[in-house]
Copies of this chain bind each other. A is one copy, B any other.
Amino acid sequence: MHFVAALDRVPGLRGILCLFEGVCSGAADGYARAIGRPASTLLHLGPGLGNSLANFHNARKARSAVVNIVGEHATPHLQVDAPLTSDINTFARTVSSFVRTTASPADVGPAASETVAAAWGPPGAVATLIVPADHSWTEGGVPGAKALLTPPAPVSDATLRRVAELVRLAGATILLGGTTVNPRALAAAHRISAHTGAKVALARNAGRFSLGRGRFQPVTVPYFPEGALPLFADTRNLILVESEVPVSFFAYPGIPSYMVPDSCTTTILARRQDDGTGALEALAELIGAGPAILVDPARPEVVDDDVPLTLEALGRTAAALLPENSLVSDECVSSAVPIQTALRTAAPHEEMPVTGGSIGQGLPVALGAAVACPDRKVVAFDADGSAMYTLQSLWTMVRENLDVTVIILANRRYRILDIEMRRTGANGFGSLAEAMIDISRPELDFVKLAAGMGMESGRATTAREFAKLTREAFGRRGPFLIEAVI
């Protein structure tokens, strides 16, 4: 309460109201991914923190910096087991790299500084500061020192020299993750690859991918093992750049968890806390790599036919119209491949994937990214089932007049569960199980849902309708929702 009241007294704080804590946590993740600096969330005791955890799980996996402030009962009130009393520390530990409870009013400032530094990293982390109410309402607080922020560590010459040897050998694969799916690092990786023949791949769990025409676009490690295993089948030396040995998303009977051969050796060029981008540039210099020639994909064209909308048409149209420098929040789930494939032909942009597999992040991440970058178009591709997790995001997008286009991929089905059920050997399921993955009954009407939160919208069932609505949404500023029935 005192923190909220302070908004009017302390300049430079912008309060953004969300109707559900899962929106706050996802928005803070999106803010950090877009701009590389932490936002702060303000949550209410254990249950408020509980509602935020699923999206903080994704933030944790993305190494997004978040300063998470949680109000706690006044210290003397904790002994009485009031209704809202719970073990906030345990709630917090599930997703936080750093948890700190203030010890006194005078400790609030120093504790806040420590929390900001812990969130910053590198790598970024969810850092949680728990503040009992009496530490807010009692006199004696003092501002903390400016948080001491550490830059990423440079990679040693010895490491560079060792990797310079390995990268020349047959079967070298460089896996870019963390902060290194950015234009500078991609250009360096391209030079190294062109000079040595090393393969380059992108880890799935980087928080932000710089993609599109004019950029080196290595393959992203596929979601399913049958795609990922062939990619690494000939890998003898895996070189990790702010990434880890790639693993399967889920385990399946008879399929290995690690996607690289057992015989493969792994070498770390840059750890998560290191300057992977600087390391790649230094490595390119060290091996004497010259400029590499980029072959761009053909420009996509809008599909303007009066035919039922398909994912392929949707992807091509969106790619053709996507404004340069857009931020794309990607929660396509089972619809991902055609859209991601098409977006590689689009103008240069950045994509933010679901890093931790917890659905419900797509709209909040778009929200946070739009707050961080008001001069960039933000586009959220969101599956219908996922969008329903944190649909309250639309309200804050309208309230803050954020420049977000939301594209709902409405297949009326938890199709990913359908796929996974068959893969885990639970196939041959009957009508009762089938009903558990069918969300067509009753039909969700996202145009009405959006209108209920004051957002303009339209529905597309044909390629032409989708092209028309997308032109309209991308051609204006402000929030707009397209329900794409596929």
Contact = CB atoms under 8 A, between A and B. Distances in A.
Contacts of A51: 22, 51, 53-54, 360, 389
A385 B19 contact: yes
A336 to B, nearest CB: 14
Interface in A412-444: 417, 420-421, 424-433, 435-437, 439, 441-444
A86 interface: yes
A247 B53 contact: no
Task: Place the interface of chain A in its size category.
Answer: 35 or more
B80 A258 contact: yes
A346 B188 CA distance: 75
A421 B137 CA distance: 11
Interface string A84-97: 10110011011100
Interface string A382-412: 0001001101100100110000000000000
Interface string A5-44: 1011100010101011010000000000000000000000
Contact of A357 (B17, B47, B445, B452): B47
A295 interface: no
Interface string A102-132: 0000000000000000000000000000000
B50 A46 contact: no
Interface in A323-361: 355-358, 360
A279 to B, nearest CB: 23
Contacts of A258: 80
Contacts of A424: 1-2, 133, 137
A202 to B, nearest CB: 15
16 contacts: A4-B417, A5-B421, A5-B433, A7-B433, A15-B436, A19-B389, A46-B53, A48-B358, A50-B53, A51-B51, A51-B54, A83-B204, A399-B441, A443-B454, A448-B451, A449-B449
Contact of A50 (B8, B15, B57): B57
Contacts of A15: 432-433, 435-436
Interface stretch (A69-77, A145-153, A369-377, A464-472): A69-77
B73 A251 contact: yes
A15 B2 CA distance: 45
A358 B444 CA distance: 27
A87 B60 CA distance: 13
Nearest to A388: B19
A225 to B, nearest CB: 11
Nearest to A205: B83
A248 interface: yes
A437 B1 CA distance: 11
A358 B439 CA distance: 28
A463 B437 CA distance: 42
A312 interface: no
Contacts of A134: 251, 253
Given A8-B433, A205-B83, A424-B1, A91 B53 contact: yes
Given A50-B50, A454-B442, A4 B433 contact: yes
